[in-house]
C-alpha cells in the first residue's frame, strides 16, 4: 500500500512524501537520507513519522491538526449543535422562523446543557462539515439533497456521490 501511495498522482503531496520517507527508512536509509528522498529537510520529523507509523499504521500518513488553537468541541458537542439545528426554532422563544448563525449560537449558549462559549464560526464549521450551506434566500440547504417534482409530488432526491464530490 505504501508503494502505491508513494507513486500516486492523485493523492495529496503530503501523503506521497510521507510514504516515500517510510519506504526509504524500510530500505535501510538514515532518517536524514529518507527526508531528502521525500523532498523534506528534517530527519527528526521522519523519526517521529516512523514511530507514529509503528504505533498507528497507515493512519500516520494522514496529517493531524496543524496548528492554531486546539479543537475544543468534539463529537458530542458537534452532535449537540446539529441536534439544536435540526429542531425547528420557536418564534416566541428564539424570535425567528429559520436559524441564522447568530440565533443558533444564542440558543446553544442559553440551553441548560448548552455550550456557553460557542462561536458562530464553530457553528458554521459544524454545519458546513455536515453538508449544510447558507443560501442567498436566507435559508439553509443540505448539499447533495434536492427536492424534485415527480408526477406532481415533491420528492427529496439525494446524490449518492455527494461525499465524493465534496472532497
Which pLDDT tens digit goes with each residue over 140-149?
Answer: 877 777 788 9
Confidence of residue 138 (pLDDT cuts 50, 70, 90): confident
* pLDDT > 70? residue 48: yes
Residue 137 CB neighbours (<10 A)? 7
More confident residue, 147 or 31: 31
Between the CA of residue 86 and those of 4, 9, 113, 116, 122, what are the distances in Å?
Answer: 42, 40, 17, 19, 16
Identify the pLDDT of residue 166: 62
Identify the pLDDT of residue 94: 84
Closest CA to 99 of 89, 114, 113: 89
C-alpha 162: how far from its chain's center? 15
What's the CA angle centered on 109, arms 68 and 124, to 5 degrees? 50
β-pair type (140-142, 145-150) = unpaired
Tens-digit pLDDT profile for residues 122-133: 999 999 888 888
Identify the pLDDT of residue 163: 66
Q: Cα–Cα distance between 30 and 47 in angstroms, integer?
A: 9
Residue 9 CB neighbours (<10 A)? 5
- Share the mean pLDDT of the chain: 88
H or E, element range at 1: none
Three cell numbers, residue 72: 475544543
Three cell numbers, residue 166: 465534496
Residues 6+ apart with CB under 8 A from 159: 144, 145, 146, 165
* pLDDT > 70? residue 95: yes
Identify the pLDDT of residue 162: 66
Amino acid at each position: 500500500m505504501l508503494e502505491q501511495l508513494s507513486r500516486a498522482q492523485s493523492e495529496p503531496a503530503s501523503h506521497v512524501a510521507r510514504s516515500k520517507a517510510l519506504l526509504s527508512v524500510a530500505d535501510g536509509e538514515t532518517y536524514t537520507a529518507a527526508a531528502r528522498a521525500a523532498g523534506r529537510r528534517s530527519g527528526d520529523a521522519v523519526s517521529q513519522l516512523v514511530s507514529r507509523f509503528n504505533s498507528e499504521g497507515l493512519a500516520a500518513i494522514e496529517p493531524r491538526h496543524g496548528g492554531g488553537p486546539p479543537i475544543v468541541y468534539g463529537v458530542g458537542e458537534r452532535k449537540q449543535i446539529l441536534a439544536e439545528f435540526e429542531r425547528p426554532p420557536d418564534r416566541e422563544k428564539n424570535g425567528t422562523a429559520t436559524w441564522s448563525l447568530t440565533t443558533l449560537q444564542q440558543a446553544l449558549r442559553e440551553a441548560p446543557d448548552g455550550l456557553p462559549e460557542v462561536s458562530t464560526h464553530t457553528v458554521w464549521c459544524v454545519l458546513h462539515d455536515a453538508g449544510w450551506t447558507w443560501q442567498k434566500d436566507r435559508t439553509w440547504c443540505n448539499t447533495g439533497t434536492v427536492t424534485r417534482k415527480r408526477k406532481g409530488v415533491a420528492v427529496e432526491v439525494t446524490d449518492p456521490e455527494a461525499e465524493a464530490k465534496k472532497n
